Amino acid sequence: MAKTAKQRCRIAFVGMPNTGKSTLFGRLTGVRAKSGNWPGVTVELLSAKIILGAKTVEMVDLPGLYSLHGFGEDERLVRHFLEQESVSLLLVVLNAVQIERQLPLVLQLKALELPMLVVLNMADEAANLGIHFNTASLAETLGVPVHLVSARRGDGLAELKNQLANAVASVDERFSVKRDDLLIEDDRLEQEAERIVSAGVDFPHTLTETMTDRIDRVLLNRWAGLPIFVLLMYLLFQAVYGLGVPLQDGMKWQLDLLRQSGLEPLLVNSSPVLKSFVLEGLIDGVGTVLTFLPIILVFFVLMGVVEDSGYLSRVAFLVDRAMSKLGLDGRAFVMQIMGLGCNVPALMGTRVIRTRSQRLLAMLIIPFSLCSARLQVIVFLTAALFPPHLAALVMLSLYAVSFLIAFLSALIWKRQFRSNETLLLEFPPYRFPTLRSLLMQGWYSTRQFLEGASGYILGGVLLIWLLTHYPFDLPPASPGTLAGQLAQVLHPIFAPIGIDSILSIALLFGFVAKEIVLGGMAVIYGAGEDKLGALLATRLDWVQAYSFMLFILIYTPCLSAVATIRREAKSWGFTALSVVWPLLLAWLVSFVFYQTARWLQG
């Protein structure tokens, strides 16, 4: 059968961790992979389709790996993909600064006899260190095209696209790989790599001290490193408030304008039930959640600075000794930091942990991270019930509690999940993230949050509205409504920790998605974001509010996180443990805090 003018082929992105592979993928495809500047962060097979020349090309971003011969989950995933899937071209991304160490992987991949193009990324950093490349000599020695780029700055990408278009125009549509082809002698490959480097790369006689070296002397100091990290996180929270709150006020003003000038006049002659459904259910409930999107966007952008700068891998190193006493290593702490955005990708990121026992222990503690969904509720309550100069300290204390609870859980369960794996971690140089990459990361993460949670938010808020308003002839949330009856059943459970029985209804829906809690509170009290804070301030004192926030912080992961744990752990027993343990711990911690605080108050 004749082939059509536009033929589809597949390009697989392969490379070691910290080569900028996912950044290059995002530049070429316009899709931002969830990537941070520390080894092994790409854990899913992200793919995108683009047009190159006369062909529709599918590009697939494979996990970073050090060798095809390894037996970690990332190596197995890449190996199985190359064995089982059709691949038209391998795009091998190398860190140009570390070419002599990364060439053996190129030779392993070359032995597969697949068409290949080698990209030397971070060419700007190599030039700053005085490293010069003869790409023509390298290409001739390797027998494959070699191209210099800087994915972070966008240098050399137009030329790379032209090379890719030429390459895919001449390759066959399908290739197969036998497992035996992956068994190549490492010693011979290392000797071959040394010969290629000596022929095509010119290194300076001595590498001068870099800015990274000078910064590391301070940030990796044994005594000052962790206090500096705590200070930086505190400043980050202050910036989230300082930049995010004005943006939040602007969105709140727009929603108020929509309600007062558009919906209220439109619904003036509607039935009370319909009017309540639209204004109190949709606008107050869902709108309250939407007003926090600017704060989430600011948080993700600022966390992107921390991730892309190269600082997170240093934090992993700083805490590794302490984490080892808990049966974990520094990578688990990095996953905790990743969980500040969303627990789900952090749970999936545990694939870089090679032993199953240590991976399970990491998955058990990651849901204690204060994710962006919980962040909405906590930011709202701290802003409503605490003065501005204390809000950041309250936030910092809750982040500290989240880590302490995670560490306590690891200490308790480490005997059941024993592991002696040693941490091997590579320090990337410090980099200034580009504004474009930060904005893309913030937008991508915020959009992902909204797309993943929108159905849960809408369904949960409207269900809470129904519970608090049915029967419709009773006052909302009164004892005779469905919510009031359910609250009476829950009262003995939540009263000892200071949580209002009606407010406990919102917590129940938080089992599905924590994003629902804030919208549920707006529906329960029949108030939008502008009035809800003042209303809660009259009904909750700081002890009740802090107990409520502790419970929100610790209790059972959302449904998406639980589903991810089940898929990654492949164990219903471990999944049950990940649900029951946080729930019991949340009640105990809130109980101890609330009862102790009341006792101290006299």
My answer on whether 237 and 160 are in the same domain is no
CATH number, residue 174: 3.40.50.300
Burial 360-390 (b: 16+ CB within 10 A, else e): bbbbbbbbbbbbbbbbbbbbbbbbbbbeeee
Please give the C-alpha separations between residue 363 and each of 46, 526, 556, in angstroms, as whole numbers.
22, 38, 13
Q: Looking at the structure, do residues 402 and 473 belong to the same domain, yes or no? A: yes
pLDDT digits (tens, 9 = 90+) for 491-550: 899 999 998 877 788 887 777 777 777 777 777 777 666 677 778 888 888 899 899 999
Cβ 67 vs Cβ 27: under 8 Å: no
Whether 476 shows a pLDDT value over 70: the answer reads: yes
Structural domain contains residue 398: yes
Could you tell me the residue range of the domain that residue 590 belongs to? 225-420+444-600
CB under 8 Å, gap of 24 or more: what pairs does 110-115 form? Answer: 110/142, 110/143, 110/144, 111/181, 111/182, 111/184, 112/82, 112/177, 112/181, 112/182, 113/181, 114/82, 114/87, 114/89, 114/90, 114/175, 114/177, 115/88, 115/89, 115/90, 115/167, 115/171
Q: How far is CA 171 from CA 115, 142, 165, in A?
A: 7, 18, 11
Final residue before a domain boundary, out of 202, 237, 265: 202
Q: What pLDDT does residue 509 have?
A: 74
pTM of the model: 0.62
pLDDT digits (tens, 9 = 90+) for 23-66: 888 888 875 444 444 344 444 577 888 888 778 888 888 888 88
| 51-61 residue pLDDT tens | 887 788 888 88
In a shared domain, residues 39 and 144: yes
Residues 197 and 232 in one domain: no
Confidence band, pLDDT 50/70/90 cuts, at residue 425: low
Query: Which pLDDT does position 41 carry in this prediction?
Result: 46
pLDDT of residue 178: 44
Distance CA 316, CA 336 (A): 10
Poorest-pLDDT segment among 28-42, 89-103, 171-185, 409-423: 171-185
More confident of the two residues 116 and 220: 116
pLDDT at 174 over 50: no
Same domain assignment for residues 410 and 472: yes
Q: How far is CA 400 from CA 62, 314, 403, 427, in A?
A: 35, 19, 5, 26
Query: What pLDDT is stored for residue 42 in this prediction?
Result: 47
Spatial separation of the C-alpha atoms in residues 255 and 277, rounded to whole Å:
16
Number of domains in the chain: 2
Task: Specify if 214 maps to a domain.
Answer: no
What is the C-alpha to C-alpha distance for residues 451 and 35, in angstroms, rounded to an integer?
A: 19
Least confident of 118-127, 379-388, 447-456, 501-510: 447-456
* More reliable by pLDDT, 241 or 601: 601
Shared domain for 178 and 235, answered yes or no, is no
Residues 6+ apart with CB under 8 A from 126: 96, 97, 120, 133
Q: Quickly count: other Cβ atoms within 10 Å of residue 209's Cβ.
A: 9
169, 202, 235: which is the final residue of a domain? 202
Is residue 170 domain-shared with residue 271, that is, in the same domain? Answer: no
Residue 399 in any domain: the answer is yes
Residue 271 predicted with pLDDT over 60: yes
| Three-state SS at 425 | coil
Cβ-contact 554, 585 below 8 angstroms:
yes
In angstroms, the Cα distances linking 43 to 35, 57, 334, 350, 421 are 9, 22, 14, 9, 20
Q: Whole-angstrom Cα distance, residue 57 to residue 167?
A: 11
The arrangement of strands across the sheet holding 116-121 comes to 46-52, 55-61, 7-15, 89-95, 116-121, 146-148
- Is residue 431 a part of any domain in this protein? no
Rounded to a whole number of angstroms, the CA Rg of the chain reads 27
Q: What pLDDT was estimated at residue 35?
A: 44
Average pLDDT over residues 401-427: 80
Q: What share of the chain is helix, strand, coil (3-state, %, to 5)?
A: 65, 5, 30
Residues 276 and 414 in one domain: yes
Q: What is the mean pLDDT of the chain?
A: 79
Residues 264, 127 share a domain: no
